[in-house]
Amino acid sequence: MIRQRSSLAALAVLAALALTALACQSVANFFSRPESAAPAPTEVVGLVAATNPPSAGEATPTPRRLELPPTPTPFTVGEDDPRAQLDLGHPDHNDSFDNPVTWFDFDTPGRAAYVVEDGQLLGKDYEPDEIYAWWSYTDTSSGNLYTEISATNGDCIGKDSVGLAMRVDRDTAAGGYSLEVSCDGAWRFRLHQIGGDQVEFVDWTPSEAVAQGPGATNRLGIWGYQARFTLFVNGVEVGQYWDTNYRHSYGTFAAYVRASQTYDLTATFDDFAYWNINFIP
């Protein structure tokens, strides 16, 4: 019995010595550990928090950020801007082209084709034509309001163009007023008559506000209150017009691509919206 107790005591002493040695080694490793073994900086989506600034010669890490959708409409404008009375952050109607049945689709050889697909309105004008504009129209009505749409050029050149129309006749899908921008950086304001002829209220006018070239996107905006129109491209006022005959007071909307030189000219449209204008005394 005495021999057994002695053996147990010896084992306990050996275990205590071993634990003491491990503890000393851990303390020594902690104080001798190189800086590169320090914990990595904390990274938060949308924000970058660096616990240690990079030393000389080290590459700065690329920050990760939240991807926010673009804001096509300025939420605040100047006091002299007619849109100042509108809540630009909250349109009365917004259409992201997720519902294909709200816009008229067709494919007419030699004329044009339109279809809502993948969250956009896709348009194609088969043959150049300076007289007619073949368009797609929506089932939403328009009167006194401000309206916008984003239009992206296809493989365009010169006066190949894209446009937005308002107060289009609901029964014939013709007529109305349109703002149009060309591939080479100009805009014009037209009256589309139900008989087919166009009236150039404002002929092609160059403007730095218009994004040029194939693939360029322009935000087209028309302020229409009774016979008064103010025209915007990418949030910038480019012109005004007063239609003394006041031929169209109500109707629907249309978007279109119009070929001037390019066969099978394409374009895409997105983010359609409008804001109703209250009575102006």
Q: Pick from 21, 44, 68: which residue ends a domain?
A: 68
Residues in the chain: 281
Range 9-44 burial, b when 16+ CB lie within 10 A, else e: eeeeeeeeeeeeeeeeeeeeeeeeeeeeeeeeeeee
User: 191 and 55: one domain?
Assistant: no
User: 86 and 60: one domain?
Assistant: no
Q: Pick from 10, 35, 68: which residue ends a domain?
A: 68
Report the C-alpha gap between 181 and 233 in whole angstroms.
Answer: 8
User: 144 and 236: one domain?
Assistant: yes
Q: What is the pLDDT of residue 142?
A: 81
Report the C-alpha gap between 43 and 55 in whole angstroms.
Answer: 18
Q: What is the pLDDT of residue 61?
A: 62
User: 125 and 238: one domain?
Assistant: yes
Note whether residue 173 is domain-resident. yes
What does the angle CA 69 – CA 74 – CA 78 come to, to the nearest 5 degrees?
Answer: 165
Q: Report the candidate in 145, 158, 115 with the shortest Cα–Cα distance to residue 253.
A: 145
Q: What is the pLDDT of residue 57?
A: 57
Q: Report the candidate in 179, 185, 237, 238 with the shortest Cα–Cα distance to residue 211.
A: 185
User: 250 and 113: one domain?
Assistant: yes
- The model's pTM is 0.74
Q: What is the pLDDT of residue 265?
A: 97
User: 27 and 105: one domain?
Assistant: no
Report the C-alpha gap between 48 and 4 in whole angstroms.
Answer: 64
User: 58 and 91: one domain?
Assistant: no
Question: 73 forms bridges with which residues in the sheet?
Answer: none
φ, ψ for residue 16, nearest 5 deg: -65, -40
Report the C-alpha gap between 163 and 76 in whole angstroms.
Answer: 25
> pLDDT truncated to tens, each residue of the chain (281 aa)?
434 444 444 444 444 444 444 444 443 443 333 333 333 333 333 323 333 444 555 565 655 544 545 556 777 889 899 999 999 999 999 999 999 999 999 999 999 999 999 999 999 999 998 888 999 999 888 889 999 999 999 999 999 999 999 999 999 999 999 999 999 999 999 999 887 678 999 999 999 999 999 999 999 999 999 999 999 999 999 999 999 988 888 999 999 999 999 999 999 999 999 999 998 87
Q: What is the pLDDT of residue 32?
A: 39
Q: What is the pLDDT of residue 70?
A: 52
Helix or strand run (H / E) with residue 114: strand 112-117
- Domain of 109, in residue numbers: 82-276
Q: What is the CA radius of gyration of the chain?
A: 33
CATH of the domain at 264: 2.60.120.560
How many domains does the chain fold into? 2
User: 141 and 12: one domain?
Assistant: no
CA–CA distance from 225 to each of 63, 82, 85, 277 (Å)? 47, 10, 13, 7
Q: Pick from 42, 68, 94: which residue ends a domain?
A: 68
